Amino acid sequence: MHFSRSGMALAIFGLIVVAPSPAHSDDTASVTAVLDPSHHGRLVYPPAELELRHSGSAHIVCVITKDGQPQSCETSASAPDFALAAEAYAYSSKFLPAYQDSKPIEGRWEKTIPFEARGTATLPVVDHEHSPRPYYPDFANDRNITGRVAVTCQVDTAGIAHDCIASPGPEILRRASLAYFTLARYLPAMKDGQPISAPYHGNINWESDAKDRNDGFR
């Protein structure tokens, strides 16, 4: 599946920072736990900051028990919502504990998380972080029904789509496209720092191998 959309691209990146901060005991500060790559939480861009296209960062330091659980975290951030997002991410994650003499011990985990909202705010964009993914109808996928469907919606100041219309194409894919863009959440267009109602134009290129590629369909 390929999306073509106007407006802003949003990205969340994490950078591991190793620093000898003595936030806790000397023994704890000297050993480092590692985020379990297979069982970590979901990092969510705070909706209020995302809506206003605010970028920022959060620096978090957690004490990780020998069982790999975050016991306590200290966070500094450019905005309170970014700190809460970082803490929610940490507390919903599992960790690989620090080891000493081949035994798990209490350690610490430290990370700086940038939240970056890039692009223009003059047009609405899909808020992929808080929207369901499109679903390729099994009937269409199994029968190699493909096509590119363009959709236009009016997005109000609350980021809700209205009066969506779809371009010609296979009816089952038109309905699936309308469902996706109608049910999605949006970041509204902005003018003079305030959200405004504006049209959104997007499209989905439905291809029969989309499920196997796992690039957006479920």
> What are the pLDDT digits (tens) for 14-55?
222 232 333 344 444 447 999 999 888 989 888 888 777 789
Residues 148, 84, single domain; the answer is: no
Task: Decide if 81 is inside a domain.
Answer: yes
Assign residue 203 the CATH number of its domain. Answer: 3.30.1150.10
3-state secondary structure of 51: helix
- Tell me the whole-structure pTM to 2 decimals: 0.55
Nearest-angstrom CA–CA distance, 8 and 183? 19
Question: Do 127 and 100 lie in a common domain?
Answer: no
Domain enclosing residue 102, as ranges: 10-117
Tokens of 175: 């309905």
Which CATH number does the domain housing residue 112 bear? 3.30.2420.10
Q: What is the mean pLDDT of residues 78-86?
A: 96
Task: Decide if 18 is inside a domain.
Answer: yes
Run of H or E residues at 30: none
Amino acid at the residue 154: Q
- 108 and 128 both lie in a single domain: no
For residues 113 and 130, membership in a common domain is answered with no
pLDDT tens-digit profile of 150-195? Answer: 999 999 999 999 999 999 999 999 999 999 999 999 988 988 878 8
Which pLDDT score is estimated for 194? 83
Boundary residue ending a domain (117, 141, 170): 117
Separation of alpha carbons 108 and 31, rounded Å: 6
**Over residues 95-122, mean pLDDT:** 89
Number of domains in the chain: 2
Rounded Cα distance, 111 and 210, in Å: 34
Residue that terminates a domain, selected from 75, 95, 117: 117
